[in-house]
Amino acid sequence: QVQLVESGGGLVQPGGSLRLSCAASGIIFSIYHMGWYRQAPGKQRELVARITSGGTANYADSVKGRSTISRDDAKNTVYMQMNSLRAENAADYYCIAAIGAQRAWGQGIQVTVSS
């Protein structure tokens, strides 16, 4: 009964900010690596950011300096703060939990960037 539920998406103006949240259940959250992928229409799903169980974060080059991934193990939740959003950042965003070869995905949440 692994469940990852994203929230915090929606419509934002160019230059605006959003914070995505992913609440996990059914896993020992603190030992899992967590991440965010995105998929825009007609494009492949790509990794945006990840954070290890120890809190080490890394990012796709396209979002470095504008996004921050973090985790709160007490809340079983991973976040991604996204600032200075652009139209090209619009996509469906997916939360992922990973350990070894094991993967669990959230259902996805839409981020729209439009004026």
**pLDDT band (50, 70, 90) for residue 41:** very high
CA pair distance 85, 63, nearest whole angstrom: 9
Contacts of 39 (CB under 8 A, 6+ apart): 45, 46, 91, 92, 94, 108
**pLDDT band (50, 70, 90) for residue 60:** very high
Residue located via tokens 């949440």: 109
**Over the Cα atoms of the chain, what is R_g?**
13
CB 96, CB 3: distance < 8 Å:
no
Contacts of 12 (CB under 8 A, 6+ apart): 18, 85, 111, 112, 113
Average pLDDT over residues 49-57: 98
Average pLDDT over residues 15-43: 97
